Chains A and B, each alone.
Chain A
Amino acid sequence: MAKGRVTFRTERCKACELCVRFCPQQILSLNKTMINPLGYHPIAVVREEACNGCGICALMCPDLVITVERE
């Protein structure tokens, strides 16, 4: 069971990758198969089970796309 869970308002993501750069688990990545209404490839989590709920992605996201939950 994952210790944390991240959810995204993908329609607000601007694909800046600040969250990707600083996630200590390296589990975030842009979804190149999708384009959001702003015209960007939005953020996605690639290994959900590895999220530790540290909140660093949300700390660095300039557009408040990310909600983090923790056990």
Chain B
Amino acid sequence: MKVVAQRPESLTDAPFHYCPGCTHGIIHRLVAECLDELNLREQAIGICPVGCAVLAYDYFNCDMLEAAHGRAPAIATGIKRLLPDRLVFTYQGDGDLASIGMGEIVHASGRGENITVIFVNNAIYGMTGGQMAPTTLLGQVTTTSPYGRTAEQAGYPLKMAELLAQNQGAAYICRTAVNNPANVMRTKKAIKKAFQTQMQAKGFSMVEILSTCPTNWGLSPLEALEWLEKNMIPYYPLGEFKVS
């Protein structure tokens, strides 16, 4: 028998601290598998967010840095400009990227920085206990929208992939999900394509990945996958928004 699925070299052996069934773990593995398969581990530099993935530098077996909340695209910009031969990627949640980090991400994509953003959209602030994020859906109950988000009070959820795809500097923008095996495979393909976009120096690339937060959604891991499919995918359509 030969091994067909095992731990990728681009992950350390440290166990993840994530909650049971949290799909941050799946996304970490996919990023690592892409680094392995494209033989990029030794030239990769990753930037961690503030959020549940704040400890990702313990997990990825490549050079890693920690950014202040939302500032990962700014750090990535500096590193990539100084070391253009490296593969530079950020890993960011929706609070990190679309709230406090909105300025950084919009301008990094606008400038066409040749970096890759792995954007994990779980429609909530996970780490801090489930507050409303800019991506929280209308009607969604969070600790800061206890009766459900309303457009009157909090406006509408932001569609980051569509928004950033408008920028001329954006070379590859895609939205995927990790709620079932087929979508996990598609997510891996998209991450690979984003890394290749950067290695071909085409410009800014981002994969927005719809992910679960069973703990703060108040659901079991399996219910959370269903909630993602029924509620998030209709509002956040999957697909490629920019390819060049």
Contact = CB atoms under 8 A, between A and B. Distances in A.
Interface of A: 4-5, 12, 14-18, 21-22, 40, 53, 55-56, 58-64, 66-71
Contacts of A66: 5
Interface string B120-139: 00000000000000000000
Contacts of A17: 21, 221-222
Chain B interface: which size bin? 20 to 34
Ranked nearest first, the 6 interchain pairs of A and B with the lowest CB-CB distance are: A62-B25, A16-B21, A58-B5, A14-B20, A69-B1, A68-B5
A12 B149 CA distance: 36
Nearest to B26: A62
Nearest to B24: A62
B26 A69 contact: no
25 contacts: A5-B1, A14-B21, A15-B20, A16-B20, A16-B21, A17-B21, A17-B222, A18-B222, A21-B222, A53-B1, A55-B4, A58-B5, A59-B5, A59-B181, A59-B185, A60-B181, A61-B25, A61-B26, A62-B26, A62-B29, A63-B16, A68-B5, A69-B1, A69-B4, A70-B1
A64 B11 contact: yes
Interface of B: 1-7, 11, 15-16, 18-26, 29, 180-181, 184-185, 214, 221-222, 225
A interface SS class: mixed
B101 to A, nearest CB: 24
A58 B57 CA distance: 23
B26 A68 contact: no
B24 A18 contact: no
Contacts of A63: 15-16, 18, 25
A62 B6 CA distance: 12
B21 A18 contact: yes
Nearest to B214: A16
B15 A12 contact: yes
A62 B21 contact: yes
A64 B29 contact: yes
Nearest to B3: A69
B25 A64 contact: yes
Nearest to A22: B181
A68 B181 CA distance: 15
A38 to B, nearest CB: 9
A67 B25 contact: no
